[in-house]
Amino acid sequence: MKYSIGEFSRITSLSIKSLRLYHEKEILVPSEVDKSTGYRYYNERNIELARTIKVLKEYDFSLAEIKEIIIEFSDESEILEQLIEKKKDIEKKIANYKNISLSIDLIITIEKENKMKPENEFEIEEKEVETMLIAGSRMKGKYSDVGKGFGLLAKNLGREINGKAMSLYYDAEYKENDADIEPCFPVRKGKDTEGISVRELKGGKCISLIHKGPYEQIGESYRKIFSYINEKSYTTLIPSREVYIKGPGMIFKGNPKNYLTEIQIFIQ
């Protein structure tokens, strides 16, 4: 029994285009080719081979790999190595996609959270903050160096990040150059590693003000919040915090006019 390419295509569920390609690549050669007309005819053995090719394709082998396999081997026990290799490839792909999925998920979660609460409109507020687990990287230097700290943290924590980036300020006064700062992230869990300390950050009562606009103009908001504190004669605690509710994102830099930074000064 011999089949024309159309019949064979229906039998094997391989497109005619694919069959011609496989012929050209000498992966699946028709049992008979009419020399004068060029018509391809396939037989039962071709069907068997086509099935093998289809399965290997499902298993994500490339045509080049398939060609090698079907030329050299004719039994599963002979291609154990290749199967093991392929499985490793696939596990790698899975791991990679899982990382991507988690990264995207983090962005989605944070953005959704931001959308939920349009926050009481930039007024000073007294509130309770809960204790949380954080991973931070304390450093001395300029404020502009903090970005690197966040980069380091994000790379090492990746999947465990559980909230918005924050900075802790250990100086009582404003320092231009030699500030004692700790960029940090809330995390689900984690261990201390090179330069990163994971620990509980105690909550408590704080005075909070959300600053809207570029970070360079945050001084004005600090002025407001301290004048409020002086008025009320509160005693402040160290460290104070900045929570980056909305800043340069993972994907876009965004518009600095819309950045939101919450200042939290803790009091006794």
Partner DNA sequence: TATAAGCGCTGCCCCAAGGGGAGAGTCAAG
Partner DNA sequence: CTTGACTCTCCCCTTGGGGCAGCGCTTATA
From the list DNA, its own copies, none, partner contacted by residue 7 (C-beta under 5 to 8 A by kind): DNA
Q: What's the rounded Cα separation, in Å, for the pair 18 and 93?
A: 26
**Judged by CB, which is closer to DNA: 58, or 121?**
58
Q: What's the rounded Cα separation, in Å, for the pair 152 and 165?
A: 12
From the list DNA, its own copies, none, partner contacted by residue 74 (C-beta under 5 to 8 A by kind): its own copies
Let me know: does 211 contact 240? Beta carbons within 8 Å: no
CB of 151: closest distance to its own copies in angstroms? Answer: 12
Name the DSSP class of 194: T
CB of 72: closest distance to DNA in angstroms? Answer: 17
**Judged by CB, which is closer to its own copies: 25, or 51?**
51
CB of 30: closest distance to its own copies in angstroms? Answer: 19
Task: Tell me which residues touch its own copies (CB under 8 A).
Answer: 48, 51-52, 55-56, 58-60, 73-77, 79-80, 83-84, 86-87, 90-91, 93-94, 97-98, 100-101, 103-105, 107-108, 111-112, 114-115, 249-255, 258
CB of 220: closest distance to its own copies in angstroms? Answer: 24
Q: What's the rounded Cα separation, in Å, for the pair 61 and 55?
A: 9
Q: What's the rounded Cα separation, in Å, for the pair 36 and 213?
A: 78
Hey, what amino acid is at 141?
G
Name the DSSP class of 27: S
Let me know: does 99 contact 189? Beta carbons within 8 Å: no
Let me know: does 202 contact 218? Beta carbons within 8 Å: no
From the list its own copies, DNA, none, partner contacted by residue 15 (C-beta under 5 to 8 A by kind): DNA
Task: Tell me which residues touch DNA (CB under 7 A).
Answer: 4-7, 9, 15-18, 20-21, 34, 36-40, 57, 62-64
